[in-house]
Amino acid sequence: MSRTSGRDSLRTVGEFGLIQRLRRQWPTSSPQVVQGIGDDAAILQPSPGQQLLVSTDVFIEGVHFDLAFQTPRDVGFRAATANLSDIAAMGGNPLYLLVSMAIPDHLPITNVRAWYRGLQEACSPYQVELIGGDTSSSLHHAFLSLTIMGTIQSNRSLTRNRAKVGDHIYVTGTLGDSHAGLHVLRTRANTRPRVRLRRDEQWLAQRHLRPTPRIVVGRLLARQGIAHAAIDLSDGLSGDICHVCKESRVGAEIWATALPLSSHLRTFAKNNGVDPVEFALRGGDDYELLFTAPSKYHQKVCDVAQKTKVSISCIGTIQPKSFGRRLRHDQGRTQTLKKQSYTHFR
C-alpha cells in the first residue's frame, strides 16, 4: 500500500490512486451505506417513514472561490456548508455526500486532500458519509460539484411555497457579515504590503470562510411543525424573500430596523462609509435561514432560539400578494424592496 507524500502529484498517482486516497481519508461507517465508494453506484438502505432530500451545487474556481485568499480547506468547508444549508432549509437531516470534481493536473494532490478535509470538517458534526463521486482532469480551472442527500420524516419538510398572509418572517443569526468578509479578504489580497486585519475584520472574514449551516434550527422547526415556509439565504435577503413570495403567491413587509446586524458589520460599515442595512439586504452567502411562522407560534420560535443558542429575529410579516414586497423604515416610510442580490449571467 502506498503512502501519500507531499510531493505526490496527480500525474503520478492518477485518477484511481487519488480516489483510493480520498476513500481512506474519509471511510464510511454507517450500516445504512450498504455499498459506498468502489462500485458503479452506491447502495443505501433508507429508513422506513422517511423521505429523501437531494440537492446539488457547483463551485467553479474564479466564480465561487478564489485561491488568492481562501485555502483549499476553506473552499471545501464553504462548499459543504452551501450544500448542508440546502438540507437545513428543508428541515432535514444530512446523510450522504457525492463529490464530483475536475482538476487541472498541475494541482498538488495535497490541495485536493485539503478540499476533502474542509468538506469533512463541515460535515463531521452531522456524521455525513462520503458515498461516491466522479473525477476528471480539467484544462484550466478547478471545478467541484457536490450532491448531498438527506432524510426527513414524511411530509414534514419546509418548502418555499407555504407562507401564509399574517405569518411572521424570521431569520437566524446576523445578515451581511459574509459579504463584508469577502470585501475584507479581497481588499487585503490586493494590498501590498499585506496589512494585518483588525479584530472586527477578522471576524467578518471568518464568517465568509466558515459559515454555519443551520441544520439544528431547521430540524427543530420541521419536527415541531412551527414553520410554514423556509429558504436559506444564499443570494441575499432581498432576492431570497422574493422566491418565497413568488412560490407562496404572497407579498412581504420587511422592517429595516429589525434586520439583525452584528456589531462587527456596524464597525466595518462606519469605517468604510457604507450602509450596513444594504449589506444585510443584498449580501449573499450568509447561509442563515429565513422562515415564516404563524404569529401564535412566536414563543415556540423563541424556545428554538434558546435551545439551539442561535439568535432568531422577527424581521417582518407576510402580506397579501397585492401588497408587493416593501421595506419599512423607522418613521413609517416604506419603499419597494428591490431584488438586488446575486444572480449569474447578469
By CB under 5 A, tell whether 275 contacts Mg ion.
Answer: no
CB of residue 136 to ligand ADP, shortest distance in Å? 9
Amino acid at residue number 333: R
In the window 106-135, what residues touch ligand ADP (CB under 6 A)? 130, 132-135
Member of 15, 39, 105, 134 binding Mg ion (CB under 5 A): 134
Residues 285-344 that bind ligand ADP (CB under 6 A): none
Task: Pick the closest to residue 168 from 45, 298, 282 (CA basis).
Answer: 298
DSSP secondary structure code for residue 291 in this structure: E
Q: Which three cell numbers stand for residue 345?
A: 449571467
Nearer to ligand ADP, 72 or 251 (CB): 72
Peptide bond connecting 193 to the previous residue in cis, omega within 30 degrees of 0: yes
Cα–Cα distance, 289 to 41 (Å, whole number): 33
Nearest to 252, CA basis, from 322, 149, 200, 331 = 322
Applying CB under 6 A, does 261 fall inside the site for ligand ADP?
A: no
Using CB under 6 A, which of 11, 39, 257, 329 touches ligand ADP? 39
Compute the 3-state secondary structure of the chain and give helix, strand, coil in percent, each to the nearest 5. Answer: 40, 25, 35
Q: Please, which residue, 105 or 134, has the CB nearer to Mg ion?
A: 134
Angle made by CA atoms 239, 244, 245, in degrees to the nearest 5 = 90
Q: Report the nearest approach of Mg ion to the CB of residue 134 (Å).
A: 4
Sign of CA dihedral 39, 41, 45, 47: positive
Nearer to ligand ADP, 37 or 171 (CB): 37
Contacted entry of ligand ADP, Mg ion, none for residue 99, CB cut-off 5 to 8 Å set by kind = ligand ADP
Choices 127-135, 167-175, 258-266, 299-307; region in contact with Mg ion by CB under 5 A: 127-135
Report in angstroms the alpha-carbon separations of 159 from 18, 205, 244, 246: 38, 31, 9, 12
Residues 6+ apart with CB under 8 A from 311: 172, 173, 174, 260, 305
- Minimum distance, C-beta of residue 53 to ligand ADP, in the bound complex (Å): 20
**Residue 129 contacts residue 33 (beta carbons within 8 Å):** yes
CB of 149 to Mg ion, least distance (A): 18
- Residue 241 binding partner per list ligand ADP, Mg ion, none, with a CB distance cut-off of 5 to 8 Å that depends on partner kind: none
Residue nearest to ligand ADP (CB): 132
Residues between 51 and 110 that touch ligand ADP (CB under 6 A): 99, 101
- Sole window of 117-125, 126-134, 191-199, 229-237 interacting with Mg ion (rule: CB under 5 A): 126-134
- Letters for 177-196 (x = contact with ligand ADP by CB under 6 A, - = none) are --------------------
**Residue 38 binds ligand ADP (CB under 6 A):** yes
Q: Pattern 7-26, binding to ligand ADP, x per CB under 6 A?
A: ------------x--x----
**Shortest distance, position 113 Cβ to ligand ADP, whole Å:** 11
Grid cell digits, residue 117: 478535509
Q: Which does residue 101 touch among ligand ADP, Mg ion, none (CB within 5 to 8 A, set by kind)?
A: ligand ADP
Give the largest CA-CA distance in the chain: 71
For residue 130, which amino acid is it?
L
99 near 86, Cβ under 8 Å? no
Phi, psi of 244 (to 5 degrees): -65, -45
| C-beta of 26 vs 297, nearer to ligand ADP | 26
Which phi and psi (to 5°) does residue 231 adopt?
-155, 155
**Binding interface with ligand ADP (CB under 6 A):** 19, 22, 37-40, 99, 101, 130, 132-135
